Amino acid sequence: MRIVFRPQATRAQIDRVEKLLQQLRFRYRRSQTADGTVIGVVGDTALLTERHVQDMPGVALVAPFTVPYKQASREYSPSSTVVQVGPVRIGGSDVVVMAGPCSVESHEGLFAVARRVKAAGASILRGGAFKPRTSPYSFQGLGREGLELLRAASDATGMVVVTEVMDTRHVDLVAQYADILQIGARNVQNFDLLREVGASGKPVLLKRGLMTTIEEYLLCAEYILATGNEQVMLCERGIRTFETVTRNTLDVCAVPVIHRLSHLPILVDPSHATGEWRYVLPMARAAVAAGADGLMIEVHPDPANAFSDGPQSLTPEHFDQLMREVAPMAGALGRKLDRVPIRSRGDGA
Ligand code: PEP
Ligand code: MN
């Protein structure tokens, strides 16, 4: 339910309604729009009717949500969500870049990539320690050792770290090492896992599934939000279509659609969307031009010998080029590529 106030409603009138919501222990969010204040509310909203909130001074309208993904919707919060992770703001005016290898393979390789992508302007280090592989015989990730390496590379470079958690039994473990918990495309509708990462209280990067519609996807985000964890970021990473030339089909239009329907930040991963490094650059430009709040890019020092996703991994040189090409796209929209001045601990980077 949303409570829309009259443009001329006074602060005291709005505060009075807010106080009632607090007394009744509702979850709510207050936003300021060009037309006035809106408060989105979830819970047993019949109570609000009983209390005649619609007749309280300053209130113009009390209306039910028109969409099933309540807290994820713009109706709940007309103001965009900005997720703050350490020094990095995701969903604000900067376009943030998450970059790193598909899988964490070795200390040397990870540190080399971390230094390079940081130098190019990325503020978030990515890397998989638990890998969702199509074949059970493919490299499955280094597990805890991979998490330790990620933490060490993150501490050395001052980068924020994001990594995937695949299993409810590993949420606590991954949360000890990572700043952001990633839910992969294949687990987007693993509702128990969504509840568990929500309850961890950590920021969550929720990737779109290969086969999820945007409405289903926003309902997945709703599972996390329903736990009270509001730090949710979305990521379009390509969907499965009849086209086979690329690994998936990047749904660039999901970016403006999600911005209209939801207040959550939406990033784009052109690496998994295309499956081929040569298409990653143009799709990264397209994503930023479409208004994406950030990018996730796979980078490997030696893609030909990567343990996973080598064909779609950029060399550090190509990543430098990507950052140079994307910056003006962000600038054209009055944004800038995130280059948060980040601390360095003795890596000389
Ligand atoms: C990944 O980012 O490491 C990954 C496996 O991506 P996705 O879940 O989008 O396939
Ligand atoms: Mn990958």
Residues 37 and 150 in one domain: no
Contacts 24+ apart (CB under 8 A), 162-167: 162/98, 162/124, 162/125, 162/126, 162/205, 163/104, 163/126, 163/127, 163/128, 163/129, 163/130, 164/128, 164/129, 164/130, 164/131, 164/132, 165/130, 165/193, 165/197, 166/130, 166/132, 166/193, 167/130, 167/193
What pLDDT does 347 receive? 44
CA 309 vs. chain centroid, Å, equals 21
Q: How confident is the model at residue 338 (pLDDT cuts 50, 70, 90)?
A: confident
Q: Give the residue, out of 235, 272, 312, with the most ligand 1 atoms within 8 A of its beta carbon, to mutate for a pocket test.
A: 272
pTM here is 0.95
The one-letter code for the residue type at 266 is I
Atom number of ligand 1 nearest to Cα 102: 3
CA of 159 to the centre of ligand 2 (A): 20
- Whether the Cβ atoms of residue 269 and residue 313 lie closer than 8 Å to each other: no
Residue in the structure block whose two tokens are 């080399």: 112
- Whether the Cβ atoms of residue 268 and residue 236 lie closer than 8 Å to each other: yes
Q: Give the residue, out of 113, 207, 296, 297, with the most ligand 1 atoms within 8 A of its beta carbon, to mutate for a pocket test.
A: 207
- Token duo for residue 250: 């990047």
pLDDT digits (tens, 9 = 90+) for 219-263: 999 999 999 999 999 999 999 999 999 999 999 999 999 999 999
Residues 31 and 145 in one domain: no
Other Cβ atoms less than 10 A from the Cβ of 151: the count is 17
Ligand 1: residues with CB < 6 A are 102, 128, 132, 164, 184-185, 207, 237, 269, 272
Please say if the pLDDT value at position 55 is more than 80.
Answer: yes
Q: What is the mean pLDDT of residues 205-225?
A: 98
- Whether the Cβ atoms of residue 255 and residue 292 lie closer than 8 Å to each other: yes
Residues 104 and 31 in one domain: no
What pLDDT does 13 receive? 98
Q: Give the residue, out of 131, 269, 283, 300, with the most ligand 1 atoms within 8 A of its beta carbon, to mutate for a pocket test.
A: 269
Contacts of 108 (CB under 8 A, 6+ apart): none
Q: What is the CATH number of the domain that holds 45?
A: 3.30.70.1140
Atom number of ligand 1 nearest to Cα 207: 9
CA of 310 to the centre of ligand 2 (A): 8
- Token duo for residue 334: 């009055």
Residues 34 and 181 in one domain: no
Q: What is the CATH number of the domain that holds 269?
A: 3.20.20.70
Angle between helices 214-225 and 191-200 (to 10 degrees): 40
Ligand nearest to the CA of 238: 1
How many domains are there within the chain?
2
Q: Is residue 345 part of a domain?
A: no
pLDDT digits (tens, 9 = 90+) for 283-321: 999 999 999 999 999 999 999 999 999 999 999 999 999
pLDDT digits (tens, 9 = 90+) for 66-124: 999 999 999 999 999 999 999 999 999 999 999 999 999 999 999 999 999 999 999 99
Element (H, E) at 96: strand 94-100
- Whether the Cβ atoms of residue 303 and residue 87 lie closer than 8 Å to each other: no
Gap between the Cα atoms of 199 and 227, Å rounded: 6
Q: Which amino acid residue places its CA nearest to atom 10 of ligand 1?
A: 185
Structural domain of residue 38, as residue ranges? Answer: 2-63
Ligand nearest to the CA of 127: 1
Gap between the Cα atoms of 285 and 325, Å rounded: 7
Q: Which amino acid residue places its CA nearest to atom 4 of ligand 1?
A: 184
- Give exposure, 286-306, as e/b (b: 16+ Cβ within 10 Å): bbbebbbbbbbbbbbbebeeb
- Token duo for residue 234: 């979305």
Q: Give the residue, out of 103, 135, 164, 300, with the most ligand 1 atoms within 8 A of its beta carbon, to mutate for a pocket test.
A: 164
CA of 17 to the centre of ligand 1 (A): 43
Ligand nearest to the CA of 186: 1
Please say if the pLDDT value at position 349 is more than 60.
Answer: no
Residues 19 and 103 in one domain: no
Q: How confident is the model at residue 65 (pLDDT cuts 50, 70, 90)?
A: very high
Q: Which amino acid residue places its CA nearest to atom 6 of ligand 1?
A: 184
Ligand nearest to the CA of 184: 1
Helix, strand and coil content of the chain, in percent to the nearest 5, comes to: 40, 20, 40
Q: What's the residue count for the chain?
A: 349
Residues 128 and 236 in one domain: yes
Q: Is residue 74 part of a domain?
A: no
Gap between the Cα atoms of 182 and 164, Å rounded: 4
CA of 103 to the centre of ligand 2 (A): 7
CA of 157 to the centre of ligand 1 (A): 23
Residues 164 and 128 in one domain: yes
Q: Is residue 28 part of a domain?
A: yes
- Whether the Cβ atoms of residue 20 and residue 67 lie closer than 8 Å to each other: no
Q: Is residue 172 part of a domain?
A: yes
Gap between the Cα atoms of 309 and 262, Å rounded: 31
